[in-house]
Amino acid sequence: MKNRNTFKFAPGLVLAGAVGAMAFGSGGCSSLSQAAAAAQGCDGFGAAVSASTPAAAGAAIGKLGLDANTTAFVTAAAEFVNIADTINADVFTACHNINVALAAAGGDAGAPASDAGVPSTGDGGTGDVQAECMAASSAIQAALSANAFASAQCSAVISGGQCQLDASAQVSCEASCSGSASCQPGTVEARCTPGELSGQCSGNCNASATCEGSATVAANCTGTCSAECSGSCSASFTGTCGGMCTGTCDGMNSTGTCAGTCKGSCSAMAKGSCGGTCQGTCTGNCVLAANAMVNCGANVNCKGGCSVAYTAPQCEADLSPPSCNVDANCEANCKSQASMSASCTPPALTYECSGTVSAGLQAVITALETNLPAIINAAKVQGQLAVSAAGTLVTTGKAEFSSIGSLSGQAFACATTAVEGSVQAQASISVSVQASANVSGSAQAM
């Protein structure tokens, strides 16, 4: 495992405490009546949070008849709460399952069952996430430090794990923002940095561009593979080799066939990590060589340039601002919506080991390969994206209440509900992300 990340969180709890003061300090008697309306809640917010898709969430908020700016804020907040709840549940389940698996393995996993974590009876709240993941981190550390593992060395190969912002949803949202009745925000292609534009490419992906493979759909590759390479590898290879292995085979010098673990280069039927040029397929991102133009394959996106027009183009970075006059807060909320409704490919994890794999080590490998991807997703992929967008929601939430006198009773109720929900979600997801980073860090020593 590499590059353990740390995260910064915006002070959402400050906003929560300020909601009442801003409401009653801005509009006198009018604010009192608005607060009464807020107490009745916002029925559409709950429906949006429980919606199965971003489109369904948007439809639930759309039925409320709010102004465009409030609609953008409430929709983004509802999608954030949904994502936070999902990530929190996924991390709790993953840590719990690691504890159960290592407890079941007991002494075979290098630690007594009593040290490997106790199945939780909690409901998956933030306290339960912390407890489960602290136990999982300790259990992994105990297992990996056991003498039973001294005869094997393992490295993790992470495949996939990336998010594509829903730029089309952002553009559509911006078109409804106040500020310019005739605003046309522009196309995704026009507002995306060329190197960040991706999509299906029926032609060839340009030299030095990226074919984005995954654990389920490998990309054709002639270049640098970030995950598992299958085919041939020119250098810094570790894995199995059905061709000529030049380097070492199970630690012994080799210039021929290898029935064990090959390290160095492999001429054919390679399967493993490759630090040189991978010629074949890749289960992660393949950055194409400077002299290569490759068709990435069916259902594999090309990022950074295609010889023909993309099909269903997407942007993997923030869009440049629209050229027309759009309300700044509404634009920011639309940007948050794009992040919250991003299409994310979950990562996959495999361990490549050389030497003798004991029963205890195999138990740990199985537990981590099954459950660590959800933790990586929270720590480094979707969780990171959501945390970043949460900071924007805090800022725009304050702006919503700064104009409290202009909000209708229904808009005030929904904005209040959205602020409260996003503050709670921010606290929840921060716990899950930090717990995930701790568990992921404990697995680095594998």
Kindly state whether residues 213 and 347 are assigned to the same domain: no
Query: Mind listing the pLDDT tens digit for each residue in 356-400?
Result: 778 888 888 899 999 999 998 888 888 888 888 887 887 787 776
Phi, psi of 247 (to 5 degrees): 145, -110
Question: Is the pLDDT at 116 greater than 60, yes or no?
Answer: no
In a shared domain, residues 27 and 146: yes
Q: Do the domain assignments include residue 294?
A: yes
- Does 208 score more than 80 pLDDT? yes
Most confident of 29-38, 142-151, 246-255, 377-386: 246-255
- What distance in Å separates the CA atoms of residue 401 and residue 420, rounded to the nearest whole number? 12
Q: Does 149 fall in a domain?
A: yes
Helix, coil or strand: residue 288: strand
Enter the DSSP assignment of 215.
Answer: S
Q: Given the structure tokens 């002299």, which residue do they identify?
A: 291
Write out the H or E segment, with its range, that includes residue 175.
helix 167-175
Residues 61 and 116 in one domain: yes
Range(s) of the domain holding residue 361:
12-161+337-445
Same domain, 262 and 363: no
Average pLDDT over residues 40-62: 82
Asked whether residue 157 falls in the same domain as residue 191, the answer is no
Same domain, 16 and 156: yes
Dihedrals phi, psi of 198, to nearest 5 degrees: -140, 165
* Contact predicate 293/205, CB 8 Å: yes
Residue 36's pLDDT band (cuts 50, 70, 90):
very low
pTM: 0.73
193 within domain boundaries: yes
Cα distance between residue 308 and residue 288, in whole Å: 17
Give me the residue label for tokens 């949006």. Answer: 48
- Of 260, 276, 311, the one marking the end of a domain is 311
Do 341 and 295 lie in one domain? The reply is: no
The pLDDT confidence band at residue 122, using thresholds 50, 70 and 90, is: low
User: For residues 217 and 301, is the Cβ–Cβ distance under 8 A?
Assistant: no
Q: How many residues does the chain have?
A: 446
In a domain, 171, yes or no: no
pLDDT of 307 reads 95
> Distance between CA atoms of 434 and 262, rounded to whole angstroms?
36
**6 within domain boundaries:** no
Rounded CA-CA distance 215/344 in Å is 13
Average pLDDT of every residue of the chain: 79
Q: For residues 125 and 345, what is the distance between their CA atoms, to the nearest angstrom?
A: 25
More confident residue, 351 or 240: 240
Among 278, 170, 178, smallest CA distance to 228 is for: 278
pLDDT of residue 234: 97
Identify which of 126, 124, 127, 118 has the alpha carbon closest to the alpha carbon of residue 89: 124
165 or 278: which carries more pLDDT confidence? 278
Quick one: what percent of the chain has pLDDT higher than 90? Answer: 31
> 117, 90, 88, 112: which is closest to 101 by C-alpha?
117
Do 245 and 284 lie in a common domain? yes
Indicate if 302 and 395 belong to the same structural domain: no
Residue 348 forms beta bridges with which residues?
Answer: 159
The rounded distance, in Å, linking the Cα atoms of 97 and 344 is 23
Query: How far from chain centre, in Å, is Cα 316?
Result: 12
Strands 219-225 and 278-282: antiparallel
Separation of alpha carbons 5 and 351, rounded Å: 21
Q: Is the residue at 305 inside a domain?
A: yes
**Count: domains in the chain:** 2
379 touches 444 (CB < 8 A): no
Residues 417 and 365 in one domain: yes
Whether 293 and 411 map to the same domain: the answer is: no
